């Protein structure tokens, strides 16, 4: 329970604080499969730079640890098993598999916020923007405390449909609720280069525009500024 109290705060530092508690639970009871599932979720978050740094391990190793803990779980009725599997599928761009695993998780717990976040992402990534946005709004109603990621997803869906000013508003709200949202910047960077800079030429030839990605640490605020000021 101590581990969950940290994990549910949804920050890199708290995710790292949850790790030793879940590891201790496994040490006390090697058959405690919920603890293995929780560790798998903690480590899979390490795929994001901020989370891997907080854990103090390289992101590839974090994913490997997630796989190892997942392999120790036999109970398929644990929603966390399907959540991690769906995360892994989404990471590999296997949208259909991700949605299938999410559906299994939600059959067990219809209000599983982690599962709903993945479902929203998968729907948005597959072009079902309205459906993804509706799920993101549902997440905010279920968990009105940790709302940065669903706000970001709503912004992302608006961005994808060309509603740049609305997208910027939601992204700003995401930052207000969690200033450490730089982990999301890389999702918007290539699209910003392709869309915003087409109508507002700026820094042509830079690594950001040329390669479609931004250097590590490009602030989300920079992207929001250009979403608000570009002439469409």
Rounded percentage of the chain residues whose pLDDT exceeds 90: 21
Q: Decide: residue 104, CB within 10 A, 0-12 exposed, 13-18 middle, 19+ buried.
A: middle
pTM of the entire predicted model? 0.71
pLDDT tops 50 at residue 194:
no
Write down which residue in 15, 49, 75 finishes a domain.
75
pLDDT tops 50 at residue 59:
yes
59 and 122 share a domain? no
For residue 229, the enclosing domain spans: 147-232
167 and 95 share a domain? no
- The Cα–Cα gap between 155 and 167 comes to 4
Write down which residue in 75, 93, 109 finishes a domain.
75
70 and 82 share a domain? no
Structurally, how many domains does the chain consist of? 3
Write down which residue in 54, 75, 96 finishes a domain.
75
- Reported as a single tens digit per residue, the pLDDT across 155-193 is 888 888 888 788 888 888 887 877 665 555 555 544 444
2 and 67 share a domain? yes
pLDDT computed for residue 189 by the predictor:
47
The phi-psi region of residue 47 (left if phi > 0; otherwise alpha if psi is between -120 and 50; otherwise beta) is alpha
224 and 173 share a domain? yes
- The Cα–Cα gap between 42 and 170 comes to 27
Which residues neighbour 118 within 8 Å (Cβ) at sequence distance 6 or greater? 83, 86, 87, 90, 98, 102
Nearest Cα neighbor of 40 from 93, 80, 7, 99 is 80
Structure tokens given for 201 = 């030429």
198 and 212 share a domain? yes
């Amino acid at each position: 329970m101590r581990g969950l109290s940290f994990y549910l705060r949804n920050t890199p530092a708290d995710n790292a604080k949850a790790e030793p508690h879940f590891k201790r639970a496994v040490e006390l009871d090697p058959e405690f499969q919920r603890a293995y599932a929780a560790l798998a979720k903690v480590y899979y978050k390490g795929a994001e730079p901020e989370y891997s740094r907080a854990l103090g391990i390289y992101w590839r190793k974090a994913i490997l640890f997630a796989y190892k803990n997942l392999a120790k779980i036999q109970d398929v009725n644990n929603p966390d098993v399907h959540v991690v599997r769906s995360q892994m599928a989404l990471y590999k761009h296997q949208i259909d598999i991700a949605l299938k695993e999410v559906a299994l998780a939600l059959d067990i717990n219809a209000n599983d916020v982690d599962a709903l976040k993945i479902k929203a992402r998968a729907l948005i990534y597959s072009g079902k923007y309205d459906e993804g946005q509706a799920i993101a709004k549902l997440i905010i109603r279920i968990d009105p405390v940790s709302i940065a990621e669903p706000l970001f997803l709503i912004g992302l869906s608006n961005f994808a449909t060309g509603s740049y000013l609305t997208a910027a508003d939601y992204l700003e709200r995401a930052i207000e609720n969690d200033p450490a949202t730089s982990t999301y910047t890389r999702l918007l960077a290539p699209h910003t280069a392709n869309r915003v800079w087409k109508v507002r030429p700026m820094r042509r030839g830079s690594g950001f525009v040329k390669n479609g990605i931004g250097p590590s640490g490009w602030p989300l605020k920079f992207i929001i500024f250009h979403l608000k000021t570009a002439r469409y």
